[in-house]
Chains A and B, each alone.
Chain A
Amino acid sequence: MTSPDRTTGPDPTPGADLRTEQLNLGYGEARVVHALDVALPAGRVTAVVGPNGCGKSTLLGALARLHTPQSGAVLLDGRALATLRPRDVARRIGLLPQDADAPDGLTVRDLVRYGRHPHQGLLRQWSPEDAAAVSQALAAADLHDLADRPLDTLSGGQRQRAWIAMVVAQETDVVLLDEPTSALDLGHQLEVLELVHDLARAGRTVVLVLHELSTACRYADHLVAMLDGRILAEGAPVDVVTPALVRELYGVEAVVLTDPVAGTPVVCPIRRVPAAERTRQPAPA
């Protein structure tokens, strides 16, 4: 695996134009996302980062039709998601939520087959396309040898790859992943992130919610930093990630270094800035 290289990748085929327009999201009275305008670059990896509760998972859910906007809209090729048929959306946008869980005894292949659901029907339960898509997804996630193993006998990284393979088999232009690497150790994290990177190389638009800022910088082409339901900064990681941003996002004083291999920003935290101090002296620009 080479490090992410933004210049030699294939031209992104603009498969889907996914953006939000004055998007307001919330649960009842509580508003989680405020008047958000964001466009997701096609054929690139976008990472959404921010502190816990900043609305990043909610945003991702709205992009996948999981949450209905209180106002505003998510637009897919200019049309509001809410006006499209669920099945049509599912053929364009795939989602891997957090804490996905499968019934006992299900094998990797059984799980990946679920990804074909939007392409199937009562009398169209298994087409040559389905067979090919499942096979390709298993290959893409390097799971052919494990295809008939029950999921609960796999390692965390393998299991997460199986879930991603399910979304890959869905053959969507857009792939949304909510914290795909949480609860994985370093090796398994890379296992998943390299697969994600390959997906973008194959022309898909990938949007990830990530916790770890340095990881996001390394694997994303585009970074969206969210705080309190608003976008604080947006752009290439190398342009966006500064000590000031880290301080504002997480309340942490940090040094931002450059990754000696990939050339991307690496965040080295120094100390937590007490809340009182944060309000007294705003972060230097």
Chain B
Amino acid sequence: MTATRPATAPATPPPGTWRVAAGGRSVLVDRRAALAATVLGVLVLLVVAVSLAIGTARLSVLDTLPAAFGTGETRDVLLVQKLRLPRVVAGVLVGGALGISGVLLQTLARNRLATPDTVGLNDGATAFAVASIVAVSTSLAPSALALVGAATAAALTLGLAGGAGQRGYRFLVVGLGVGAALGALTQLMLARAPIDAANQAFPWTVGSLNARAPLAIALLAAGLAVALPVAVVLGRQLRMLRLADAVVVGLGLRVARVRIAVIGVAVVTAGLAIAAAGPLGLVALIAPEMARKAAGPRSVAVVGSALAGALVVLLADLLGRTVAAPLELPVGIVTAVVGGPYLLWLLLTTRTRRIP
């Protein structure tokens, strides 16, 4: 078939893509996905600026940027650098990590309901973190145990489901079961714990950005610095995973290997995010959904999901800090309260899958 081809055919890129080429190498960029990521990125920056400005003491949005870099009034610098910036950074990182984890698990299981929340990672992390506070007298930090808990739950779910992928629904159902069991364990521990310990453990059951361990945030930042590029590089393979196994094996993809890589990145990102902020419900479900709506069906929007996750967490935290001020609602409660109806709306308005 190659014989009929002109020798110097142009590499006209498919519609809706840009082709960046140099010296025989070429990369295709999906225009809509790129545009969506840009818009989401700008929105994140805007919300970051607003989050830095709004609080008990209000600053002008314009003053926050210099203050973040240490110039301006001393009070502003202190407020922004010491109090608000760490929280905002934590929000961006946690949201980004949850967004990535969500989009990876959804793609892997070929099911939009498969997220760290539903496959038991959140419950695992919570159970282990709560255990470290109330049940076992250990000096291990709850953050570290949250990470271990997420990995344990993932291993349990994968082991019991016999892998993800082809049996995506099985992965999901087993994950729900594992999550329920670990959730019950958490309840049991809280019920039997002394009231002080139970209070201390409470943030680990809802998710909050308030006064989190700086080390956990730093670890999360480091994890994301690795996970995001890996997830982006996996983008081509993720695109493939959306097709049936038989098809992608026929196209030469090493499916098992790709799956392990995807699961690894998903567990690490979710685990580190939960270790930093506790279980933030629904973020990993809503963020990829927003990104998918914006970026279109052609690509798997990894960057878009990360940005959408950051946006959701920042907005939820902003809402939690302002709506009942001076009382502060934990961000996890806001994501659950706002996310629940959004999820319902999403499920009810999504068109039926296929024309027979």
Measured CB to CB, the residues of A under 8 A from B are: 61, 64-66, 85-91, 93-106, 109-110, 113-115, 117-118, 120, 122-134, 136, 148, 152-153, 167, 170-171, 176, 202-203
Contact = CB atoms under 8 A, between A and B. Distances in A.
Interface stretch (B12-20, B50-58, B115-123, B331-339): B12-20
A59 to B, nearest CB: 14
Interface of B: 1-2, 4-5, 8-15, 17, 19, 21, 24-28, 233, 236, 239-240, 242-244, 246-247, 249-254, 296-298, 353-355
A99 B19 CA distance: 32
A103 B242 contact: yes
Given A102-B243, A126-B13, A131-B11, A171 B298 contact: no
A87 B11 contact: no
Contacts of A97: 244, 246-247, 250
Nearest to A105: B297
A221 B205 CA distance: 67
Given A103-B297, A104-B353, A152-B354, A125 B26 contact: yes
Contacts of A64: 246, 249-250
A61 B4 CA distance: 31
A94 B14 contact: no
Given A114-B243, A171-B1, A126 B11 contact: yes
Q: Give the residue among B9, B27, B233 with the most A Cβ atoms within 10 A.
A: B9
A99 B247 CA distance: 10
Is chain B's interface secondary structure helix, strand, loop, or mixed overall?
Answer: loop
Contacts of B354: 152
A101 to B, nearest CB: 6
A104 B2 CA distance: 32
Contact of A113 (B9, B11, B14, B250): B14
A110 B246 contact: no
Task: Give the 5 A-B CB pairs with smallest separation, nearest first.
Answer: A90-B252, A105-B297, A95-B250, A97-B246, A87-B252
A86 B252 contact: yes
27 contacts: A64-B249, A86-B249, A86-B253, A90-B252, A95-B250, A96-B250, A98-B246, A100-B246, A106-B298, A109-B15, A117-B251, A117-B252, A118-B251, A125-B26, A125-B236, A126-B17, A126-B19, A126-B21, A127-B11, A129-B2, A129-B5, A129-B9, A131-B12, A132-B9, A153-B355, A170-B251, A176-B250
A136 B2 CA distance: 10
B249 A66 contact: yes
Given A109-B14, A114-B240, A123 B252 contact: no
A219 to B, nearest CB: 21
Given A126-B19, A127-B26, A89 B252 contact: yes
Contact of A122 (B8, B9, B236, B242): B236
B297 A106 contact: yes
Given A106-B297, A128-B9, A203-B1, 4 more contacts: A103-B242, A128-B11, A131-B10, A133-B1
Contacts of A167: 250
